[in-house]
Amino acid sequence: MTRCLALLLALFCASAEATRVGLVADLNGRYGSTTYHERVDRAVETLISAHVDAVVCAGDMVAGQSQPRLDADWLDSMWAGFTAAVHEPLSRADIPFLVTAGNHDGSGLPAFGLERERFEVQWQSRRPALEFLPGSEWPRRYAVMMDGVLFLTFDGTVPGKLPPAETRFIERMLTAHSAAASATVVFSHLPMWPFTRGREDDILDDSSLLSMLHRGGVDVYVSGHHHAFYAGTDIAGMVHVSVGALGGNMRPLVGAGKKQPHGYAVLEISDQGIEVQSRVARSFSSPVPASDLPERLSGPLGSLDRLDGAAPLRPVSGVLR
């Protein structure tokens, strides 16, 4: 089925409902910590109460990448703390949890091979009961289809250009599956835009990656690491979402004077388009004030215009097919 046909069927299906996905990132506390701030507990509670269809985590679930190096037992104890605070409550509520590695829990840098190993070991037995697509390599890189929406992730933990193996995986999955999806969401740890002060160089500065996502009709790119919320559209209309941190330090957006509060976001996908809403601690009932979000953010790959309202779904150009 082509994507256009899928969208037409959605338009004529009166009972079709929006897909609502919680977006979380950077939940870890201090290096080596095995416990979580109470706002993480509260965030999980509110996501469960909101009956989201799934939760996507854009990395940094535990506080590794520290000096001196942590051994396997310590790393596993941190993962046990995360499991108790986040994964088990969501599992009991039957909410799928989609993960991607961050620099603190599964960095692609050679020096952090043990952390990467423990990340993979911890998640091997926790694969959510979703439709994983052929060629997926859970939990490092994979693609799933949920309610007709394609969710795709890769290892985006090292700044700069993406390694060829990751690029080939993304292209292969988009070529095979994006045309049949009603929408496509790609998520990884590092953003392609410099969202916050002090992290301007911590991005995937890769114009070929961006072009490939555009050709594949990707609707949303979700990232963490910059510890502040922003949602904006690039020149092709693709939505970029920087997810605020639930743990760790708060950071100000580039050009902003004050740090953002901790929080998460909710992504809503329907035949009407893409909507993104932030939710800030402590009650997670209010958004980041629009006045705190600049109308435009610039970076090496161009500009993002702040998302106000809904963004339309993007067509697949056919170049990848």
Strand ordering across the sheet containing 220-223? 131-132, 142-146, 149-153, 183-187, 220-223, 239-242, 230-233, 302-306, 296-299
Q: Please tell me the predicted confidence (pLDDT) of residue 7.
A: 35
Q: Answer yes or no: are the C-beta atoms of 131 and 145 closer than 8 Å.
A: yes
Torsion of CA 253, 230, 212, 189, to 10 degrees: 70
Q: How far apart are the first and last CA of the chain?
A: 14
pLDDT for res 65: 79
Asked if the peptide bond before residue 163 counts as cis, ω within 30 degrees of 0, the response is no
Taken in order 123, 177, 58, 45, is the CA torsion positive or negative? negative
Helices 113-124 and 72-82, axial angle in degrees (round to 10): 40
Amino acid 22: pLDDT: 98
| Domains (range + CATH), the chain | 22-306 (3.60.21.10)
Residue where the block lists tokens 């002090």? 198
What tens digit of pLDDT does each residue of 140-167 get?
999 999 999 999 999 999 999 999 999 9
Retrieve residue 52's tokens.
């989201």
What is the per-residue pLDDT across 78-103, written as a single tens digit (0 to 9) for each?
999 999 999 999 999 999 999 999 99
Q: What is the pLDDT along the chain (321 residues), one digit of tens a residue?
A: 444 334 333 333 433 589 999 999 999 988 889 999 999 999 999 999 999 999 999 999 998 876 667 899 999 999 999 999 999 999 999 999 999 999 999 899 998 999 999 999 999 999 999 999 999 999 999 999 999 999 999 999 999 999 999 999 999 999 999 999 999 999 999 999 999 999 999 999 999 999 999 999 999 999 999 999 999 999 999 999 999 999 988 999 998 878 999 999 999 999 999 999 999 999 999 999 888 899 999 999 999 999 999 999 988 875 443
Whether cis (ω within 30° of 0) applies to the bond prior to 289 is no
pLDDT of residue 6: 41
Read off the pLDDT of residues 180-206 as tens digits, 9 standing for 90 and up: 999 999 999 999 999 999 999 999 999
> Which residue, 219, 234, 131, 225, is CA-closest to 178?
219
Instruction: Give the pLDDT confidence score for residue 69 in this predicted structure.
Output: 74
Q: By CB neighbour count within 10 A (0-12 exposed, 13-18 middle, 19+ buried), where does 290 fall?
A: exposed
**Structure pTM?**
0.93
Question: 3-state SS of the chain: helix, strand, coil percent to 5?
Answer: 30, 25, 50
Q: How far is CA 11 from CA 270, 271, 309, 314, in A?
A: 10, 6, 20, 15
